[in-house]
Every structure is written in C-alpha cells, then in structure tokens.
Amino acid sequence: MTAVQPPIDAGQSTAVHTVGKQVMLAARAVTMRFGGLVAVDSVDLTVHAGEIMGLIGPNGAGKTTFFNCLTGMYKPTGGQVEFLGRVLPPKPREVVKAGMARTFQNIRLFPNMTALENVMVGRYCRTSAGALTSILRGPKFRREEEETRTRAVELLEYVGMKGQGSHLARNLPYGDQRRLEIARALATDPKLLLLDEPTAGMNPQETRQAEELIFKIRDSGLAIVVIEHDMRFIFNLCDRVLCLVRGRVLIEGTATEVQSDPRVIEAYIGSPESEEEAGNA
Amino acid sequence: MKLPTLITPELQRRHSALARIITVVGGLAIIASAYLPWAFGPGALDNMTYLGGPSTVQLLGAALGVPVALGASMAWIEPWLDSRDGLAKRIAAVSKRIAWLRGAKAAATGALVFIAVVVLAIALELGGLVNVEWGGWIALLAALAAFAGTRLMVPGRAPRLHEVKPTGWLEILGIAAMLGIGLLGFAYALNQNDGGTFVAVVVCLTALVIVAMRSGIGGWLSLAGQRNRNVLVFSAFAVAFLFPFTQNGSDANMSIATQVLVFSATAVGLNFVVGLAGLLDLGYIAFLGAGAFTAATMSMSVYATIGWKPPFIVIMLIAGTVSALLGLLIGTPTLRVSGDYLAIVTLAFGEIFRISMSNLDGTDGPDLVHGASGIPGIPNLDFFGFNFGQVHTLFGIPLGRFSNYFFLMLLIMAFIVLVFSRLNYSRIGRGWIAIREDEKAAEAMGVNTFGLKLLAFASGAFLAGFAGAVKAHVDSSATPEQYIFLESAFLLAAVVLGGMGTVMGVIVGATLLKLMPEKLRFLADYRMLLFGLLMVLMMRFRPEGMVPNTRRQLEFHEEDAELAQEVDDELPYEFVEERAR
C-alpha cells in the first residue's frame, strides 16, 4: 500500500457513520495524467456495503475520469483500486466480473437492439456458452439462454419498464433510456453500481422516480456511487459525499457537512471576494 | 437533388380517368406487341423476327405488361367483384389490400426499361437502330404510354397485404412458387450465351421483384418466409439440389454453378467477419488459398509435396485448421487496432500470402507448392468408390463431374449456413452486435470484445479453408495467381452488395458477381468500370445491400426515425422479443 495523504476533513464524522460495515471499494491515491494535465490527483475513496456515496464537483473536476479509472476504462497512472479485498486490474471486463457495473453520463445503449436485448448483453459476463455449444444448441446453451431471457425480463420489470422489452433502444423516451442503462448494468450482477449523472436532462417527476429506483437498488443490498449535479438529489440520497475540485478531494463527509462547507459553495459559484473583485474591475 | 415537379397532384386529379385508360391500353399493347416482329435479323437476342410467334424475351416483356394492365383496370374490376357473392367477394376482399396502382407504376417503369434495353441490344448486336422492326417500336411506344399514364394517375393506396392473418398452406405455396420462379429464372439465365438476352432476363426478373414489393405481395412473401423460416431454408436447399437435374448432363452450366457456390460459401465466411463482427478484411482470399494449398499438397497429385492422403474429411479439417491458425496469427496482433488500420493490415496479409506461396519453390524457400506454377493435376475426389470425375446416372439423368462437386459444395454450404445462423442467434451473436453498435460500452458491460473479434476472424477463416479444400479439387490445380487481391475485393463486394449480415443477400450478391463476367463477355473491357459504377450507386442509394439484415439497415440509417418506428412495430425475426418463444 502506498502512503496516503488523508483527505481533508475525512476524519471522525464519517468513521462514526460507517463503523462496522464491510469495505467494498477502496481506491487509494488514484492519479490520472494526460500529458501535463493531472485530471485526477491522488484521490482516495472508500465505499462500504449498502451505502450510497455521492461524487460532486464543478464541471471538469475529474469526476467522470475518476469513474473511468475505477472501472478500468482508463489505466490510472498512479494508485490502485481494491474491490472486496482484491486489487483490480485496469480492464473493464475484469472489473465487471468482480462485481462493479456502471452507466454513462451520455447514454451509451446499443441503439439498434431492443430493450430486452440490451439487458441480455449485460448477462454476457455471467454466462459462458461458447461457440461450440451455441452451434450444437446443447442443453447448457438452452438453459443459459432461457435464464438470460427470464432475468432480463425480470430486470426490465424491476426498473419499471415492464412490457417495453421489444422496443428498439433508440425509440425509447429519454427517461426510459436512463432506466434501461441501469437495468443493463444490473444484469451483470454487480455488488457496486456506479451511476454517472443518472438524472441529467430529466424533469422533476422523472428525477423523483430515479431517486426511488436508486433507493430500491440500495435496499436490495448494493452499494452505489453516484455522480450528480442536482444538489437536492444528492442530499436526499447520499449517506456520504465526496467533493472533487480540479482533480483533488476538497472535502468528504455526510451530506449536511458537505452542504454547509463554504469551500464547496466557493468551488461551485465562486467566493464572495472574487465576486467583489470582479464587480470592482 | 430535387427534380422540379412536372406532375402536380392537381393535374393528376383532373386527368386520372383518362390516364387510367391510357395505362390499360398501353399495358395491353405491351402484351400484344410480343406477337409482333421486333428485329429484322434472327441473330439478335433470341429470334424475335416472327409475326405471331413470340420468343421468350418477348414473352418476358408481355409478363411485365400484365401487371400494368391488370393493376390499372383493377379499379373497375374490384367493385364488380365486390358486388357478387361467394368467391368473387372474397377475392375482392384480398384485392383491396393489394396496392395495385403502385404495382402498375413499377411494372410500367420496368417494362419501359426492359423494352429500351432490348431495343438497344438489337441495335448493338445487329449494327444500328434500323434493324429494329416495327413491332419493337410499337412495344416501346406502348411502354412509354403506360409509363406516362401511371405517372398521371392519382397515387394508389399503400399495401396492407401483410396485415392478413397467416394462413399456413397458402404461405408455403407462395414460398414454393417464389423458389420455383427463382430456379427457372436462374436456370434460364444460365443457359443464355447471348449477352443481350442475359441482361434482358436480369432486368425483367428485377422488375418483377420490384413490382411484387411495391404492390405488397413481396412484403407478404417475405413475412411468410420469416414465419416459415425452416420451410424456406429447406426448400431453398431442395431447389438447389434439384438444379443439376435440370441440366441434362451438360457440364458447362454446372461448372459455373459450382464456381458460384464456392464463391458464395467463401463470401458467407467473410460475412462472419464483415457482417457479424463489423470488421473490414481486405485479404480474405488468403484463407481460401491456404485451404486450397493445404488440400493440394495432400492430394496425391504427381506434384503434391506431402505423400500422405487421409480421408477427405480429415483433409478439410486440416485445411480449415491451417486457415484458422493463420487467422489467429494475423488477428492476435492486429485486432487491437480498429477500422481502417485493420483493413490495411489484412490487405498486406493477402499480398504476403500470395508472394510467400510464389516463393515456396525450392530456390527461395522449401519446395512446398512449386512457386508460381503451383500444384496442377490434382486428382478428383473419391468417396468410397464414388469417383467425382465420372458421370453418374441418377433417375435416368446423367450427372457429370461438376454436378458431383456441386452436391458436395451444397453440403458444405448447408454446414456454413447452419454455423452462421446459430452463432448469430446466440450469446455470441449478441456480443457481436453490441461490439458493432458501441465497442466501448460493450467492453464496459463485460463483453469480451477482443476474444469475440478473434472468434469471428478465426471461424470465418476456418470456413474459408473448408471451401478452399474443395476448390482445389474443382479447379484441379492450385496456383498463387488464383488468390490475388482482386478476388478479395470481389468477395467483399459480394457481401456489401448482397447485404451484410444475411446469408440470402450474400448468396444473391455472389451469384450476380460470378455470373455477370461469364455472361457479359462483350463488356470484358469495361467490366471493372461497370463494377465500380455499380458499387458507387449501391453505396449512394442502398448502402445496406440488396437483401439487408434489418439491424444493419438500421445502423446505416441512424437518422431515419421512421424506419426505426416501422421496425419497432413489426419486429423482424432477427430481434429477440420479450414474449417467450
């Protein structure tokens, strides 16, 4: 384990909150450089079982990049990601197999597949029928295919899309596309779900539905990390919140703690002094 | 590009009644003109100089005249039928779902093109338009009248025939009729040694297909085909199996048919790579070559270099394995790069293969395939005393050498098609689609993208190796010059032209590409030019190919919300539906 700078303010309060819970994800000093730019600068993140962790920060703070590092889409230039006590290699497939699934900020469904097929693709990593079994249509193939389909139908119902399975993903309304992405991620049987702005572009009613869905998923025993800009959403939902600014951890704590921290407000809307300066100039 | 509208809806409304009469008269005149002499000399196309004795090409013209006349007059016949009882009323009910006018419009256009092509062919083959007799001109005028008439009519209703409740026996009858016409058309076109006749037949068949599509009968047929997929596949193979029996022991056509089959089998193999996994492979012919050379070296030809001859099935497996290994060898380092880079690497691989084979001649390398001269004199196959080189008589019909190979290729084709469709509709097939749609997202969902791409590459190569082993015996020689880049380009063209991701499309594309150079020898110098033109036109107007896979069609038309809605409403068999099967 590398030496870790303790994140600012990540002290007593959170320790009390999470005592006795199993640590699921432990990211240590994760750093991502693109040439001279340090997009993520030794960020630490610990997620416990059954917890909803919020990730906030102004645009360009490195939230999505951090997600990409966690899920193996990027190979981090420094640090390591430990999941359930095992250090994950930076390969998306291994990460999914280990039990971490994600959604995307800009929806990335398979547009010309039906909703059901999209979810079925999510089952890929939990099934193993190879080319030969598929050609011979052996009993294993048929069993797996049946299981895949049943599970996919269940998941569609779970996210509230019952009976929508035979529509092309590209024809679905926006809110349903977001939900379908969650269903597809759930199809991989994750233990930890990473949601990248799950309510972006949603109206208040859809946001409320998404909130309920996320609670429902949490109650089924999954841990969740969620990137959001909608502060009300974050504070309704999250047990703990981590705020990133310019690739660094600004503060970590309970929702109320982070909400009332002047530095967070400053990061988002600028400090009163700089405003005054701007006004005087 | 938008043409100025000469014919306004207002104009159509005003002249609709007159236009209908013109169209019907035009259609009847097209039919009648088949009985008139079209050419002064018997040398043009099939002999069309007789008054009262129509030739086949003329009858084909008449066949296009029928839907014109019938389609236009249906507006009079239909109410009359509807007013009767019993059968007539039921016919009227069906008739109301057919888009007669749209069919007539397509038929009139088709007839005009057909007759113009025939008239031009007469002029070309006899040396000048003076050789076209009055019958030909009357036919052209009649077609022009019908064309103008259909354009002046108010556009008809859209077809609703596909909404009819499925009726088992009728659908199977329809499929049988369609396949029968296909077989007759193919056999007839194959028998034509005259370029003009061949073109005329192709134009006529194309026009008939378009008429069927526009009137709604084609849509009903394709739906029937989807509902009875197994029947369709089995009867298609049955029809292909019967084909050699129509040839009366003549090997000339069977030679072409066998070449077509080898070519289409290879093209279906390429379709794994291009159509399913969405990878561009420009050196695919190398895998066919690898199979052919493997089989050749073990064929016990006088020039064969390996003095071991296992049963042919083992040779095929070895040939397939060698090709698949080559596929893995080239795929492992290169499948990590995407798109254009892969195309360049595979292009180079195809050339490396050909040049390596030329150099395995004993001076630059081991004398494995005798370099540029290759391995000639490959003996015919012999299955348990059944010699492929001899003529065998079955049901009193002699079946020559190429017929034997045709049957063997048909078996291999059936195997390839089975592998293709089963892989396509499985977990692996879903993985391939996901990779095509969004590779990054597929990876993030746990799909083994590299492994699946490699699998497509290797299995495509394996099947090409299979086909190659037979090809060596069909050609009775294997030389490096048979496996040049141009062949790879043609294979890719067959896939793109026919339809990526479908078996049917690729077979149609491969057949066209193999038949045309055989039959259009007079165009030999312009062959590549025409071929290029055809490709450009296809890419502009129908990038998804002639018989497209619905999903590929959607992928090619990302902006087309209407198409997506249509597919959504009537989900084709390619898609997994929510309800349990």
Residue B345 pLDDT greater than 80, yes or no: yes
How open is the CA angle B487-B488-B489, to the nearest 5 degrees? Answer: 90
Question: Which of A67-81, B156-170, B330-344, B371-385 is least confident?
Answer: B156-170
Beta-carbon contacts below 8 Å between A and B:
135
How confident is the model over B291-339, as pLDDT tens digits? 999 988 888 777 777 777 788 889 899 999 999 999 998 888 888 777 7
Question: Is there a single domain that holds both residue B368 and residue B500?
Answer: yes
Taking an 8 Å cut-off on Cβ atoms, the answer to whether B447 and A121 are in contact is yes
pLDDT at A47: 92
Q: Is B464 exposed, middle or buried (0-12, 13-18, 19+ CB in 10 A)?
A: buried
Question: Is there a single domain that holds both residue A135 and residue A87?
Answer: no
Give the CATH number of the domain where residue A222 resides.
Answer: 3.40.50.300
Asked if residue B235 belongs to a domain, the reply is no
Taking an 8 Å cut-off on Cβ atoms, the answer to whether A110 and B437 are in contact is yes
Which of A135, A192, A196 is the best substitution to test chain B (most B C-beta atoms within 10 A)?
A: A135
pLDDT at B249: 67
Question: What's the gap in Å between the CA of A7 and the closest CA on chain B?
Answer: 29
Domain of residue B112, residue span: 9-227
Q: Which residues of B touch A149 (CB under 8 A)?
A: 576, 580
Which of A112, A132, A166 is the best substitution to test chain B (most B C-beta atoms within 10 A)?
A: A112
pLDDT at B381: 78
* Three-state SS sequence of B81-129: HHHCCCHHHHHHHHHCCCCHHHHHHHHHHHHHHHHHHHHHHHHHHHCCH
Asked if residue A225 belongs to a domain, the reply is yes
pLDDT tier, A19 (very low <50, low <70, confident <90, very high otherwise) = low
Question: Is there a single domain that holds both residue B473 and residue B371?
Answer: yes
Q: Which residues of B touch A168 (CB under 8 A)?
A: 554, 564, 567-568
Question: What φ, ψ does residue A5 adopt, rounded to 5°?
Answer: -75, 130
pLDDT at A265: 80
Q: Which residues of A touch B557 (CB under 8 A)?
A: none
Question: Which of A132-141, A198-207, B382-391 is least confident?
Answer: B382-391
Mean pLDDT of A138-164: 91
Question: Is there a single domain that holds both residue A76 and residue A209?
Answer: yes
Choosing from A132, A167, A189, the residue where a domain stops is A189
Taking an 8 Å cut-off on Cβ atoms, the answer to whether A111 and B430 are in contact is no
Query: At B286, which amino acid appears?
Result: A
Residue A48 pLDDT greater than 80, yes or no: yes
Residue A277 pLDDT greater than 60, yes or no: no
Mean pLDDT of B15-37: 83
Q: Which chain B residue shows the shortest CA-CA distance from A71? A: B444
Which of B418, B426, B445 is the best substitution to test chain A (most A C-beta atoms within 10 A)?
A: B445
CB-closest option in B447, B571, B577 to A124: B447
Task: Output the CA–CA distances (angstroms, integers) from residue B422 to B171, B412, B416, B428, in the order listed.
Answer: 25, 15, 10, 9
| Residues B31 and B69: beta-carbon distance below 8 Å | yes
Question: Is there a single domain that holds both residue A90 and residue A205?
Answer: yes
pLDDT at B580: 44
Question: Is there a single domain that holds both residue B519 and residue B567?
Answer: no
CB-closest option in B445, B567, B578 to A121: B445
Choosing from B194, B227, B260, the residue where a domain stops is B227
pLDDT at A118: 94
Residue A8 pLDDT greater than 50, yes or no: no
Helix (H) or strand (E) run with residue B392 in it:
strand B392-394
pLDDT at B402: 87
Question: Is there a single domain that holds both residue B183 and residue B286?
Answer: no
Spatial distance between the Cα atoms of B523 and B450, rounded to a whole number of angstroms:
44
Taking an 8 Å cut-off on Cβ atoms, the answer to whether B446 and A104 are in contact is no
Query: How many structural domains are present in chain B?
Result: 3
Q: Which of B220, B223, B224, B228 is nearest to B97 (CA)?
A: B220
Q: Which residues of A touch B578 (CB under 8 A)?
A: 114, 116, 153, 156, 163, 165-166
Mean pLDDT: which of A9-18, A96-105, B128-137, B512-521 is highest?
A96-105
Asked if residue B504 belongs to a domain, the reply is yes
DSSP code string of B194-206: SHHHHHHHHHHHH
How confident is the model over B390-434, as pLDDT tens digits? 777 778 777 788 888 899 999 999 999 899 988 988 999 999 999
Over chain B, what is the mean pLDDT? Answer: 82
Query: How many structural domains are present in chain A?
Result: 2
Question: What's the gap in Å between the CA of A112 and the closest CA on chain B?
Answer: 6
pLDDT tier, B4 (very low <50, low <70, confident <90, very high otherwise) = low
Asked if residue A207 belongs to a domain, the reply is yes
Which of A110, A116, A136 is the best substitution to test chain B (most B C-beta atoms within 10 A)?
A: A110
Question: Is there a single domain that holds both residue B576 and residue B543?
Answer: no
Residue B109 pLDDT greater than 70, yes or no: yes
CB-closest option in A73, A104, A110 to B433: A110
Complex ipTM value = 0.86
Give the CATH number of the domain where residue B482 resides.
Answer: 1.10.3470
pLDDT tier, A103 (very low <50, low <70, confident <90, very high otherwise) = very high
pLDDT at A279: 46
Question: Is there a single domain that holds both residue A79 and residue A172?
Answer: no
How confident is the model over B38-56, as pLDDT tens digits? 877 777 777 777 777 778 8
Which of A70, A75, A93, A119 is the best substitution to test chain B (most B C-beta atoms within 10 A)?
A: A93
pLDDT tier, A271 (very low <50, low <70, confident <90, very high otherwise) = low
Mean pLDDT of A66-93: 90
Taking an 8 Å cut-off on Cβ atoms, the answer to whether B431 and A135 are in contact is no
Look at residue B442 and give its three-state secondary structure: helix
CB-closest option in B445, B576, B579 to A117: B576
Residue B387 pLDDT greater than 70, yes or no: yes
Question: Is there a single domain that holds both residue B254 and residue B184?
Answer: no
pLDDT at A7: 42
Helix (H) or strand (E) run with residue B393 in it:
strand B392-394
Choosing from B171, B193, B227, the residue where a domain stops is B227
Asked if residue A95 belongs to a domain, the reply is yes
Choosing from A171, A189, A207, the residue where a domain stops is A189
Choosing from A189, A219, A254, the residue where a domain stops is A189
Question: Is there a single domain that holds both residue A225 and residue A168?
Answer: no
Sorted by sequence, the CB contacts under 8 Å of residue B259 that are 6+ apart come out as: B474, B514
Q: Tell me B154's DSSP state.
A: P
CB-closest option in A113, A134, A165 to B433: A113
Question: Is there a single domain that holds both residue A152 and residue A246?
Answer: no
Beta bridge partners of A195: A226
Q: Which chain B residue shows the shortest CA-CA distance from A67? A: B444
Chain B residues near any Cβ of chain A (below 8 Å): 418-419, 422-423, 426-431, 433-434, 437-438, 440-448, 455, 459, 551, 554-555, 558, 561, 564-565, 567-568, 571, 575-580
Question: What's the gap in Å between the CA of B558 and the closest CA on chain A?
Answer: 9
Residue B524 pLDDT greater than 80, yes or no: no
Domain of residue A172, residue span: 112-189
| Residues B388 and B401: beta-carbon distance below 8 Å | yes
Taking an 8 Å cut-off on Cβ atoms, the answer to whether A109 and B576 are in contact is no
Question: What's the gap in Å between the CA of A185 and the closest CA on chain B?
Answer: 7
Asked if residue B232 belongs to a domain, the reply is no
